[in-house]
Amino acid sequence: VTGQDPNASIVYQNERICIFKDIRPAAEQHLLAVPKYHLDDVRSLTSAERPLLEEMRKELGNVLKDQFQIDPAEALFGFHVPPFTTVKHLHMHGMGPVGSMGFLSRMIFRPNSMWFNTDQAILNRIPAVSQDETGSQ
């Protein structure tokens, strides 16, 4: 994330997020999107982070499509759910095509299981940003 790890393969970044290749790919292309500020995991998310998650999903899809010619509709996006996390920093997986995933990877990244939830399932649990939070009247 800091750009100092010579083994990190950063494929996209902006002022809020960084996207890089997973060192243990579960599919033909397996990327991770992380915020540039610390969030422990999906349990720490509030409505204030909803736009961040939406941006992470959008940019993961764009990178898969633009850099790797993978249709986002054929990809899987989501998060491991505590206690089934190995890294104590929020990160969204984006991988595809799903058909390139082996049996074990399909189990580890089984959508909406006890240990892995899709981005949409996580977003559905986070309240929408209220007008009070956006400063709108």
pTM above 0.85, yes or no: yes
- Model pLDDT, residue 137: 44
Please give the single-letter amino acid code of residue 92: M
| Given 30, 80, 91, 93, the catalytic residue | 91
**Secondary structure of residue 29 in the 3-state scheme:** strand
pLDDT in tens, 35-74: 999 998 998 899 999 999 999 999 999 999 999 999 999 9
CA distance 29 to 15: 24
Pair 46, 125: CB distance under 8 Å = no
pLDDT in tens, 73-90: 999 999 999 766 777 889
Reply yes or no on whether the pLDDT at 126 is more than 80. yes
CA distance 10 to 1: 8
CA distance 128 to 130: 6
Nearest to 55 by CA among 25, 18, 23: 18
Reply yes or no on whether the pLDDT at 3 is more than 90. no
* Whether residue 91 lies in the annotated active site: yes
Which domains, ranges and CATH numbers included, belong to the chain? 10-128 (3.30.428.10)
CA distance 62 to 84: 27
Beta bridge partners, 95, equal: 30, 76
